[in-house]
Amino acid sequence: MPGVKERLRVFEVDHPAAIGGCSAGIFSKGSGPGSWLVADVLDTTVIEGTSSLKEAQVLRQFVESEGSRLQFGIQSGEAEAFFKARGFDRVTCVTAASCKERFFINESRKRHVSPMFNFVHASLRSK
């Protein structure tokens, strides 16, 4: 059975500023206009360790205990502007609560979904 490191892959960049060029480096070279990005987004408070959520603190501690660190977050309410500034349009941000309300059915509705998780989907803008 694979260990924790093999089961949990943490995307790392050398510096958070590298994310600023992600659409140019990853998407515009390998994807055509209209291609979609789906991503989970953590708030900067999770990354900085200032979130009051217990699960955010546990996640941060776990990642650090594995020899890594969380390196990038987007300030609450800024995801749409962030992605639009990097070449995306039709940006939709979905909170964990909204995701649960819309997509969880039957027994899964009873599951706790941490509000530290937010999701975004956006399309690569036509040039």
Query: What pLDDT sits at residue 115?
Result: 92
Cα 53 versus chain centre, distance? 17
pTM of the model: 0.69
Residue 60 in this model has a pLDDT that exceeds 70? yes
Backbone angles phi, psi at 91, to 5 degrees: -85, 130
In which band, very low, low, confident or very high, does the pLDDT at 86 lie, cut at 50, 70 and 90? confident
Question: Mean pLDDT across the stretch 81-105?
Answer: 89
* Residue 27: CB atoms within 10 Å: 21
Helices (H), the chain: 4-7, 22, 28-30, 44-48, 54-65, 79-84, 96-103
Query: What pLDDT sits at residue 30?
Result: 57
When comparing pLDDT for 95 and 16, which is higher?
Answer: 95
